[in-house]
A and B are shown apart, each in its own frame.
Chain A
Amino acid sequence: GQNIDQPTEMTATEGAIVQINCTYQTSGFNGLFWYQQHAGEAPTFLSYNVLDGLEEKGRFSSFLSRSKGYSYLLLKELQMKDSASYLCAVRDSGGYQKVTFGTGTKLQVIP
């Protein structure tokens, strides 16, 4: 099974940089996802890491260390619209490759 930990809430200032951490314990690993979910809306895909290292996509970057069971999502040049929950999700390596979501980190961006 999977166990995924993220901070429950974070607050950051507009224009700043924020790092959201995710740690996981898994019986098998085949990729880590980050999703963004605005209040009252569906989750939307942000990033995917399966190998160690940093993946950059515009203002968002995601890092993975498989040996440490650790990932982070880095958001640069924060905007008010980045206020949302950020969900870390891990896919296992079993035949059906189930994806398990963490409880999410609610980020509030303040002026």
Chain B
Amino acid sequence: DTAVSQTPKYLVTQMGNDKSIKCEQNLGHDTMYWYKQDSKKFLKIMFSYNNKELIINETVPNRFSPKSPDKAHLNLHINSLELGDSAVYFCASSQVGPPNEQFFGPGTRLTVL
């Protein structure tokens, strides 16, 4: 009965490769997010979707492309991986209406060699 799940949990890959991370939530929330947490533990918003529509798109390289096939799923595809992409990527979801706190997935630790 996991609320927000992500796969894979760990991802080790070479520079230049393309990889995807998948996220699913079974909480019935309308809004989903992708965050990047770097080595200094700073949690930064990348994208947000509300009911499959992109609503927040921070200054993220075009190599990052989110896709939401339905409101329970939000995937992240990364092209031409670079060393600086190494981080932990968290998916999260929230409901509409206060406090609409975010529920986070377990994270995907991406290491680019």
Report if A and B associate in a common complex.
Answer: yes
What residues of chain A have their CB less than 8 Å away from a CB belonging to chain B?
31, 33, 37, 41-45, 48, 50, 85, 87, 96, 98-101, 103-104, 106
Q: Are B41 and A45 in contact (CB under 8 A)?
A: no
Name the interface residues of B72-112: CB closer than 8 Å to any CB of A. Answer: 90, 98-99, 101-107
Given that A31-B98, A33-B99 are known contacts, is A101 also in contact with B43, CB under 8 Å in the complex? Answer: yes
B12 interfacial contact with A, CB 8 Å? no
Q: Are A103 and B106 in contact (CB under 8 A)?
A: no
Inside 8 A of A48's CB, which chain B residues have their CB? Answer: 98-99, 101
Q: How many chain-B residues does the 8 Å CB contact rule pick out?
A: 21
List, sorted by A's number, 16 A–B pairs whose CB atoms are closer than 8 Å: A37-B41, A42-B104, A43-B43, A48-B101, A50-B99, A98-B45, A99-B45, A99-B102, A101-B42, A101-B44, A101-B45, A103-B40, A103-B41, A104-B42, A104-B43, A106-B41
Name the interface residues of B32-73: CB closer than 8 Å to any CB of A. Answer: 35, 40-45, 48, 50, 55-56
What residues of chain B have their CB less than 8 Å away from a CB belonging to chain A?
35, 40-45, 48, 50, 55-56, 90, 98-99, 101-107
* Closest Cβ–Cβ distance, residue A106 to chain B (whole Å): 8
Inside 8 A of A106's CB, which chain B residues have their CB? Answer: 41
Given that A96-B48, A96-B56, A98-B48 are known contacts, is A45 also in contact with B43, CB under 8 Å in the complex? Answer: no
- A-B contacts counted at CB < 8 A amount to 49
Q: Are A85 and B106 in contact (CB under 8 A)?
A: no
Given that A96-B55, A96-B56 are known contacts, is A103 also in contact with B45, CB under 8 Å in the complex? Answer: no
Bound-complex Cα distance A46 to B41 (A): 18
* Closest Cβ–Cβ distance, residue B30 to chain A (whole Å): 12
Given that A33-B99, A103-B41, A104-B41 are known contacts, is A98 also in contact with B56, CB under 8 Å in the complex? Answer: yes
Inside 8 A of A100's CB, which chain B residues have their CB? Answer: 45
Bound-complex Cα distance A108 to B56 (A): 34
Bound-complex Cα distance A103 to B39 (A): 11
Inside 8 A of B44's CB, which chain A residues have their CB? Answer: 101
